[in-house]
Amino acid sequence: MKLRNAAGAAVAALALVLSLPGTSLAAEGGFHYKYVDEAGREHQVTLHDPRSGVCIDLYGVGSDDVPPGYGPHNDTDSWVTVYRGADCTGAEWRLKPHGKPARDDLKVRSVFFDVAG
Interatomic CA distance for residues 98 and 31, integer angstroms: 9
Q: Which domain holds residue 33?
A: 29-113
> Could you tell me if residue 5 is inside a domain?
no
Amino acid letter for position 94: R
Distance CA 108, CA 62 (A): 8
pLDDT at 15: 42
Mean pLDDT of 16-45: 80
In a domain, 74, yes or no: yes
Number of domains into which the chain is organized: 1
Q: Is residue 83 in some structural domain?
A: yes
* CATH number of the domain within which 54 lies: 2.60.20
Please check whether residue 77 lies inside any domain of the structure: yes
Average pLDDT in the 2-25 region? 46
In a domain? residue 24: no
Residues in Cβ contact with 11 at an 8 Å cutoff, skipping those fewer than 6 apart = none
Q: Rounded to an integer, what distance in angstroms lies between the CA atom of residue 76 and that of residue 48?
A: 9
State the pLDDT at residue 116. 67
Does 53 fall in a domain? yes
